[in-house]
Amino acid sequence: MAKYTPMIQQYLQVKAEYQDAFLFFRLGDFYEMFFDDAVRASQELEITLTSRDGGTKERIPMCGVPYHAAPNYIEQLIEKGYKVAICEQTEDPKQAKGVVRREVVQLITPGTVMEGKGLSEKENNYISSISTFEDGTYGLIYTDLSTGESRVTMLTSSTDELLNELNTIGAKEVVCDEALPGELQQKLKERLSITLSFEQDTVVKESDESFFRQLSQQKLRITAARLLNYLYRTQKRSLDHLQPVELYAVSNYMKMDYYSKRNLELTETIRSKGKKGSLLWLLDETMTSMGGRLLKQWIDRPLISKAKIETRLNAVDVFLQRFFEREELRELLTEVYDLERLAGRVAFGNVNARDLVQLKKSLQQTPGIAHLLQQLGESETNQLAEKLDPCEELTDLLEQAIVDQPPLSIKEGNIIRDGYHAELDQYRDASSNGKTWIAELQASERERTGIKSLKIGYNRVFGYYIEVTKANIHLLEEGRYERKQTLTNAERYITPELKEKEALILQAEEKSVELEYELFTSIRETVKEYIPRLQSLAKIVSEIDVLQCFATVSEKRQFVKPTFNNERRIRIEEGRHPVVEKVMNAQEYVPNDCFMDKERELLLITGPNMSGKSTYMRQVALTAILAQIGCYVPATKASLPIFDQVFTRIGAADDLISGQSTFMVEMLEAKNAISHATEDSLILFDEIGRGTSTYDGMALAQAIIEHIHENIGSKTLFSTHYHELTVLEDELQQLRNIHVSAMEHNGKLVFLHKIKEGAADKSYGIHVAELAELPPTLIQRAKELLEQLEEKGEPAPLPTQPKVLKEEEPLSQLSFFTEEPRQEQKKVAKQDEIVLAEIKKLDILEMTPLEAMNTLYRIQKKLKKA
């Protein structure tokens, strides 16, 4: 350290405390980075890497960004999962006796972003914390620092449940103990792409007791304290906007694992990972950012409480029946800004005057919204109206204090209204009248001197001055004008009167700006006191927004109100997949019924590829999810049970990150469903077993079907291309065959997309290949092979296959001597005897076709090994 210059030594001392972050070190008008930070930042941000003398022989790598452009560069680093420590000058350079004092004023991380492009309007930005305990349980808390909402729970199951919960909330950063097992840290980083941070302090401070109000269990308090202390340490400012942490239980909501949400494309599509094409995209008719975030939360966590579901449905029904009132409500909501994040910015101290104008406009809509809800005259909407708090005192304060169109900066004045503060009005009057006096003085001086080009100007260096061209200097009265500045073609003067008035004007302007800033910060502190009320208001407005959104979508898409039964019965008439229906023309979509009860627990679905089996299965699941979030459903009639869990295995995809093949992913998803499903669950299995050989796959598929049928009893939709499995309808009482119909017309395959009872009569695989426009010669050859396979049960020889030797032709040269049978021949003969004995023992009449096929396959394998 002694070798480096004092400034570099200061940098290294600060950097030592923030090893896992880029250190933005303030030097004048730039944030500079040095050493490894500079090298990496130049690559990540594509900025020039330079160097500077640091007191050693070798120059130090350096790069930097202008302070006014820093937010854009910081956002780029945060989006890539990095952390940025902001180190500011905390001492006036003019008063510093040595190196200017500098301190880190904030650590910005993926989970603590408060503003900018990295913060999506309709998505939460969660930072989470986990604690592990000796009994195998996990404590989990997550907070959106931008809105102040926090939730905590205990997880008593496996690591997979923890990972699934973190994936559900979409946490960007996880704070944990440094002793967290390395294997779990690896999974967090690789499988969820989460930024890891560490915090050891789990002490609950007395001043934070209000945050822990709902928590009595020590494990939960430790978990919450870890996150709160991390936020204090990194943000170094007030966190008054953090709401008391809310306790929740995962079991209070419908459970869906990561794979199920991905397969059903609830919030993002499988292919593009974007919102368009997902259920969230279809439903999002919200008018506020707050409503958009709440909608996503509801989709992620469908309810299992029938009473709560019906409360939402009843409110949707009211909005649906009253079109004009709903449209008026939507107009009012367009004027409501993001109250949650505005409150967060107020607490953080980075709110500006324009933000406060947005807050005022939002509050001004509240009485209108409440009045409209009361006009509807229903108990559900009346209860919502009663919870709306217009915060009238705050609205009046902002109306009286802040101008309608304030500047962006809060330190340059012109924010406070005239008439709000008497002293400020006096300063403004002095400044305004002083300028009038200046204008009058200019006119009188021109008259006195006869110099028509004489003018009075101002600059920051010399203040006010009288400027006269050199050609007119002789016209000035001697002794009255004092020379101030000489220019090429003019001279600048001052007079005693001008100097006196200048002091008054400049003092008034300076004091006016200072006083405006003081008044603004005072107003901001007053707004802080309203934060809890603003957050409560935001929650109600969000709920109203989502409910009207459900009504709007239901009317547009012709959804119907679902009913619920206790008989575990599904009856969906003319059900549709809502997203597919929207993407394609609604008139072209073919609706289908779904009926399941105690006699029909498991539907085995057959039919050609591309016929709509997967779509049918997904639409049943989406109908259940829509119903349980409190929305109407895409059908003409729907009666449903309440499902506790939904499991899916749809589509084929390798999990390359964890090094798992398609078939392994398939088996893991099947295992998850089989291990956790109950009779109140819904299971969707699409083409299970197709990732391995035909016989293995068929055997696994049948075993899974039998296990679900005999041991679980979940409502299950199981699609397959193994037509041999359709015989299970005769053996399993609660299994029924259904198929997606298709027909041949003029040799071409036509998909009817209609679900019918019974098994499909054929696969139509070659027809699908023909639709995909494979070469005609290939298609023709496939047809020939298929005919031969169906007739002979064996493939036809290829045209290029060499001639087969006849039995009488010698296989090799005749031996002159009689040879004893070789060892290999003896082994084959012995194996043949064993196989023949096994075949004799078989009771063919008592075997199912599938068992016979499996036995034949096993025998064939033995013979091949021999």
Q: Is 596 annotated for ligand binding?
A: no
Are residues 159 and 65 located together in one domain of the fold? Answer: no
The tens digit of pLDDT for each residue in 429-450 reads 877 788 788 888 899 999 989 9
> Please, which pLDDT band fits residue 657 given cuts at 50, 70 and 90?
very low
Within a domain: residue 275?
no
Helix spans in 69-180 (H): 70-79, 159-169
> Please, which pLDDT band fits residue 814 given cuts at 50, 70 and 90?
very low
Provide mean pLDDT across the span 489-507: 86
Report which of residues 781 and 515 the model is more confident about.
515
Are residues 573 and 712 located together in one domain of the fold? Answer: yes
Within a domain: residue 421?
no
Are residues 595 and 646 located together in one domain of the fold? Answer: yes
Query: E strands of 440-577, at which residues?
Result: 455-459, 463-469, 482-486, 490-494, 563-564, 570-575
The tens digit of pLDDT for each residue in 414-430 reads 999 999 999 898 888 87
Within a domain: residue 413?
no
- Indicate the pTM of the whole model: 0.82
Percent of the chain with pLDDT over 70: 88
Q: Answer yes or no: is pLDDT of 771 > 70.
A: no
Within a domain: residue 399?
no
Are residues 568 and 707 located together in one domain of the fold? Answer: yes
Q: Answer yes or no: is pLDDT of 796 > 50.
A: no
Q: In terms of residue numbers, what domain contains 141?
A: 126-252
Q: What is the CATH number of the domain that holds 330?
A: 1.10.1420.10
Are residues 688 and 575 located together in one domain of the fold? Answer: yes
DSSP letter at 590 equals: -
Within a domain: residue 398?
no
CA-to-CA separations, 798 to 29, 733, 778, in angstroms, rounded: 78, 45, 13
**Of 540-554, 660-674, 810-824, highest mean pLDDT:** 540-554
pLDDT of res. 773: 73
Are residues 468 and 547 located together in one domain of the fold? Answer: no
Q: Answer yes or no: is pLDDT of 47 > 90.
A: yes
Are residues 589 and 685 located together in one domain of the fold? Answer: yes
Strands 715-719 and 682-686: parallel
CA 571 to chain CA mean position, Å: 33
CA-to-CA separations, 232 to 5, 106, 145, in angstroms, rounded: 32, 10, 11
Are residues 603 and 544 located together in one domain of the fold? Answer: no
Strands 637-640 and 570-575: antiparallel
Instruction: Give the Cα separation of 348 and 239 in Å (integer).
Output: 7
The tens digit of pLDDT for each residue in 516-542 reads 999 999 999 999 999 999 999 999 999
| Domain end call among 732, 763, 794 | 763
Provide mean pLDDT across the span 647-670: 65
**Which of 39-43, 50-54, 291-295, 769-773 has the weakest average pLDDT?**
769-773
- Structurally, the chain folds into a number of domains equal to 6
Q: Answer yes or no: is pLDDT of 246 > 90.
A: yes
Q: Is 487 left (phi over 0), alpha (psi -120 to 50) or beta?
A: beta
Across the chain, what does the average pLDDT equal? 87
Are residues 39 and 89 located together in one domain of the fold? Answer: yes
Are residues 549 and 511 located together in one domain of the fold? Answer: no
Instruction: Give the Cα separation of 467 and 480 in Å (integer).
Output: 14
**Which of 650-664, 705-719, 820-834 has the weakest average pLDDT?**
650-664
Are residues 650 and 746 located together in one domain of the fold? Answer: yes
Q: What is the CATH number of the domain that holds 92?
A: 3.40.1170.10
Q: Is 607 annotated for ligand binding?
A: yes
The tens digit of pLDDT for each residue in 268-318 reads 988 888 899 999 999 999 999 999 999 999 999 999 999 999 999 999 999
CA 414 to chain CA mean position, Å: 39
Q: Is 613 annotated for ligand binding?
A: yes
Provide mean pLDDT across the span 309-338: 96
pLDDT of res. 463: 84
Q: Answer yes or no: is pLDDT of 807 > 70.
A: no
Q: Is 7 annotated for ligand binding?
A: no
Q: Is 291 annotated for ligand binding?
A: no
Classify residue 228 as exposed, middle or buried by CB count within 10 Å of its CB (0-12, 13-18, 19+).
buried
Instruction: Give the Cα separation of 453 and 287 in Å (integer).
Output: 59
pLDDT of res. 805: 37
Q: Is 306 annotated for ligand binding?
A: no
Are residues 535 and 576 located together in one domain of the fold? Answer: no
